[in-house]
């Protein structure tokens, strides 16, 4: 599950601020806000067969995150799209690509956390790499519950997709030490929130359940799966869900750009065993794959 260096990415061009640079020359300043305070927002996107999946939804979320953090000069959607297209074209990338899109608050005049020290405008980074899905979405992943809770809106709203990822990184360290693939994170009340980098669903007796998007990122894949399931007549319930309900579920899976829909086979050493015989995951996976071209913005080159 640990990603390896892909030699195909040895000479990629990366967009930073105003143009393209070889990966070795693509840099941000030591005065940049992302260095000074993790003060940046980001999106992870995938390119499938000549199109960018859910591009507008990702740009909407990026915009909302940047607005919440009071960035002052957020580039227009058109500017960001142009930078993405330019990067993909320069690298000849049309499929099997992951894009890490980052917008930092930009360079500061001196070190410090105060946003008033940012006087040079924001900094846009488009890092496109040849990359298969990170999770094994056929064989599934094993997860453990982390002791660290997912951020609540009272502290740092998990709906902001920001680069201060230590909440998730601490959980991932715990999973790594336990030999698990990912960490399951609870909310402030002990209900299941999400995994450290994906959202979580469970199936019981033919009903699809997922936690409220209160202490998790409102994932774009999550939203689409809810839409797809409802359109297919599958009952969907968003509510507080405890670990006990997940241990006893018929199916558990996670959703996100890093794994599409990936089965979860073990939670805290408890095997997820389907006793009811109702099977939704393969159906949802197939419907999701069908929707990829429908929701992808074609590349203009
Ligand atoms: N949860 C977290 C914490 C994430 O970082 C991500 C993706 N970056 C997701 C869920 C999945 O979101 P999406 O479906 O938009 O990729």
Q: 106-144, pLDDT tens digit by residue?
A: 999 999 999 999 999 999 999 999 999 999 999 999 999
Q: What's the N-to-C CA distance of the chain in angstroms?
A: 33
CATH 3.20.10.10 corresponds to the domain 141-291: yes
- When pLDDT is averaged across residues 4-29 and rounded to a whole number, the result is 97
Within 10 Å of residue 141's Cβ, how many Cβ atoms?
23
Cα–Cα dist 86/79, whole Å = 11
Ligand 1 near 168 CB (within 6 A): yes
Q: Boundaries of CATH 3.30.470.10 in the chain?
A: 7-130
Give the CB-side neighbour count of residue 78, counting CA atoms within 13 A.
0
Calculate the dihedral angle through the C-alpha atoms of 50, 56, 61, 67, rounding to the nearest 10 degrees: 120
pLDDT bracket for residue 1 (50, 70, 90)? confident
pTM (predicted TM-score): 0.97
Domain with CATH 3.20.10.10 in the chain: 141-291
Which ligand 1 atom minimizes the distance to the CA of 150? 3
Share the mean pLDDT of the chain: 97
Atom index in ligand 1 nearest the CA of residue 43 equals 8
Provide the pLDDT confidence category of residue 275 given band limits of 50, 70 and 90. Answer: confident
Predicted pLDDT at 18: 86
For a pocket test of ligand 1, which of 198, 223, 254, 261 has the largest count of ligand atoms closer than 8 A to its C-beta?
A: 198
pLDDT at 28: 97
CA–chain centroid gap for 186, Å, is 18
* Chain segment 80-103, per-residue pLDDT in tens: 999 999 999 999 999 999 999 999
Tokens of 200: 């979580």
The pLDDT of residue 124: 98
Q: Whose CA is nearest to atom 2 of ligand 1?
A: 197
**Ligand 1 binding pocket includes 262 (Cβ within 6 Å):** no
Residues 99, 52 contacting (CB under 8 angstroms): yes
Å from CA of 201 to ligand 1 middle: 13
Q: What is the pLDDT of residue 84?
A: 98
- Residue 143 is predicted with a pLDDT of 98
**Does 267 contact ligand 1 (Cβ within 6 A)?**
no
Q: Which one of 43, 133, 219, 221 would you pick to mutate in the ligand 1 pocket, going by the greatest count of ligand atoms within 8 A of its CB?
A: 219
Into which CATH architecture does domain 7-130 fall? Answer: 2-Layer Sandwich (3.30)
């Amino acid at each position: 599950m640990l990603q390896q260096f892909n030699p195909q990415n040895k000479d990629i061009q990366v967009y930073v601020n105003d143009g393209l640079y070889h990966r070795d020359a693509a840099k941000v300043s030591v005065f940049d806000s992302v260095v000074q305070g993790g003060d940046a927002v980001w999106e992870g996107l995938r390119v499938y067969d000549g199109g960018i999946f859910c591009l507008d939804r990702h740009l909407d979320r990026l915009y909302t995150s940047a607005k919440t953090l009071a960035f002052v000069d957020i580039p227009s959607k058109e500017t960001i799209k142009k930078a993405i297209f330019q990067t993909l074209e320069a690298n000849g990338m049309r499929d099997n690509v992951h894009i890490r899109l980052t917008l930092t608050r930009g360079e500061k005049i001196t070190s410090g956390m105060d946003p008033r020290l940012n006087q040079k405008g924001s900094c846009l980074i488009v890092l496109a790499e040849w990359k298969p899905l990170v999770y094994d979405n056929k064989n599934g992943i094993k997860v453990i519950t982390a002791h660290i809770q997912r951020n609540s809106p009272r502290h740092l709203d998990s709906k902001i997709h920001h680069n201060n990822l230590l909440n998730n990184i601490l959980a991932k360290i715990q999973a790594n030490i336990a030999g698990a693939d990912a960490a399951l994170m609870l909310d402030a009340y002990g209900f299941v929130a999400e995994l450290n980098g994906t959202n979580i669903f469970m199936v019981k007796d033919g009903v699809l359940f997922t936690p409220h998007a209160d202490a998790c990122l409102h994932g774009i894949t999550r939203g689409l799966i809810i839409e797809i399931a409802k359109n297919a007549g599958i009952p969907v319930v968003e509510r507080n869900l405890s670990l006990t309900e997940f241990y006893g579920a018929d199916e558990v899976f996670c959703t996100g750009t890093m794994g599409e829909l990936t089965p979860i086979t073990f939670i805290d050493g408890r095997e997820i065993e389907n006793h009811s015989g109702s099977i939704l995951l393969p159906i949802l996976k197939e419907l999701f794959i069908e929707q990829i071209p429908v929701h992808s913005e074609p590349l203009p080159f």
